[in-house]
Chain A
């Protein structure tokens, strides 16, 4: 198994009453409420948490990025990836990921990722995402070409990593006279690429076609199973067998010394989902052209307030469906067993705290996870045969199939 730690890096140190008054805090909530003194404190706390994460035995640290929003302080995941490359020694640095459509220069992205891979001595996992709807607005990128830009930028990054330059790229959305970055990844043929997602069938299909592991982000167990059915059928079509090494799951999981404390802190997972201060206005999170056309009627109704978020549900429901797990190590472990038995992922991200969880409680959660939960999960992984892509030595992508054994002489 590959067990990762994740935090959104919440920037909860802003006047919450102002956030409530404004409503949706992603995109348009004024940054006059941003206090850089608190920002500096929080960034440095998160760095200390990451050091502790490595110390207590996690295999990887998962990073992401968002824009214009208190729920996530990482405006550029490559910045924290660079920091981790220098201050950690062992953990994989798992970016889930760089929002490709937001890049106006994918070649520069390929260079940055190659630098991170070299500085970290080959510990980079370079996931890619489409970016949230409001991210397109925050960066001025056309949501109507989101998926086209994602695919074209991906192809260009991988080409820049793997094919010697100089070459020229004349694409639909990107044109580059000279592609010849003076930095290439240490890992060959290139760093592993994992694709996280929530809902879009198109992304599941695309990931399976590339033979990239897909990381389901806190979906309900039944929905996760449907994702794997879908992934596996596409995998079969393109000629490989799906399985644990292609399956990742991000589990919201807060562990504390008492049940009461764990449950109280777990409520903070709803902080970014809108229960406390709101995430993005539905119109901002689902700009036209961004979402899957197969959900158009659901999203237009969501956008005008006629139905709830097709992606969200209430805290109690999420506890019941195990989208959120909270408790002491003793009560959390059986729930994780259910997740592993029913959905068989080999990559599990532990999203351990959110919102206003204190520094001390966040550290306790990391320690309890590392010392008591991870060893149990590893045992279950062995028992259930959940080999990670590293353990299974699965190919980096469909372009690099496993070498066939030499024919017997």
Chain B
């Protein structure tokens, strides 16, 4: 995949869901695929998104209260976001979508899948939060700085420098702070998991792909193993040379895994 992807045209718009304005980017054509970003938000464009858009109609919303989407003061859980995205998919007329959830977005995708398993074509969870690991804990961002937290998501710090710069701007820090505040508002306690989610995954009888970076220091691999076991049609794939942000560190490999999986019959 070329790092300079000029062949994919993205559009951005504001859509209204549950009384709030959501920022939505879209590109590509074909079957619908919804990408759900991490708790640190997302750069506007990533080579990984471009690769998906060459094969699918890709939707990348900013979560409510993250990046350019409005903060809903009333929102209290990742499940609330999942309901909003089911609402959004209905409004977009995106029938039988594939869901690709990254980290915290993986938790939202898993919640969405438990709500409407029959309306789903494929489920991809990459380093997904949402399940309490049996060994270790999900990294508590409240104890580390914005920069250190994001750096923890990379197995190779040079990848961080390439994407965010070695010294991220104050504007970026402020955005991370706003995103962190929203994460606290909806996922403070228990932190980044739902005790009830594991019991509800058994009804998600669609093909599921669980992907984990070998060196994920944010969500322990054990959570991935639990997802792969609880989802009836799941397999687990490990990506070498990647931490939590697999889509930023190994975009080609992850894109190939996801495209092959989601394009399957």
Contacts and interface: CB of A to CB of B under 8 A. Distances in A.
A183 interface: no
B146 to A, nearest CB: 6
B144 interface: yes
Interface string A111-146: 000000000000000000000000001001011110
B188 A304 contact: no
A297 B189 CA distance: 27
A288 B180 contact: yes
A386 to B, nearest CB: 41
A54 B228 CA distance: 67
Nearest to B176: A300
Contacts of B25: none
Nearest to A148: B73
A6 interface: no
B145 interface: yes
Given A300-B170, A300-B173, A300-B177, A142 B185 contact: yes
B12 interface: no
Contact of A297 (B174, B183, B185): B174
Contacts of A301: 170, 173
A56 interface: no
Interface in A325-357: none
B143 A140 contact: no
A306 B173 CA distance: 11
Interface in B145-173: 145-147, 170, 173
Contacts of B180: 288-289
B188 A284 contact: no
A303 B174 contact: no
Interface residues on B, range: 10 to 19
Contact of A303 (B145, B178, B181, B188): B145
A41 B263 CA distance: 71
B146 A303 contact: yes
A283 interface: yes
Interface in A269-290: 282-284, 287-289
A303 B178 CA distance: 14
B146 A287 contact: no
B142 interface: yes
Contacts of A282: 145
B10 interface: no
Given A297-B174, A301-B170, A287 B145 contact: no
Contacts of A137: 142-143
B142 A287 contact: yes
B184 A142 contact: yes
A307 to B, nearest CB: 10
A304 B174 contact: no
A296 interface: yes
B184 A287 contact: yes
A231 B181 CA distance: 29
A374 B181 CA distance: 46
A388 B185 CA distance: 41
A303 B149 CA distance: 12
B139 to A, nearest CB: 13
Contact of B189 (A140, A299, A303, A306): A140
B138 to A, nearest CB: 15
A172 to B, nearest CB: 9
A289 B145 contact: no
Contact of A144 (B170, B174, B184): B184
B40 to A, nearest CB: 12
A284 B146 CA distance: 12
A143 B142 CA distance: 10
A288 B143 contact: no
A152 B212 CA distance: 43
Contacts of B170: 297, 300-301, 306
Interface of A: 28, 137, 140, 142-145, 282-284, 287-289, 296-297, 299-301, 303-306
23 contacts: A28-B143, A140-B189, A142-B189, A143-B142, A143-B184, A144-B188, A145-B185, A283-B142, A283-B144, A287-B184, A288-B142, A288-B181, A288-B184, A289-B185, A296-B174, A297-B170, A297-B173, A300-B146, A300-B173, A300-B176, A304-B147, A305-B145, A306-B170
Given A284-B142, A287-B184, A288-B142, 7 more contacts: A142-B185, A142-B188, A144-B185, A288-B178, A301-B173, A303-B145, A304-B145
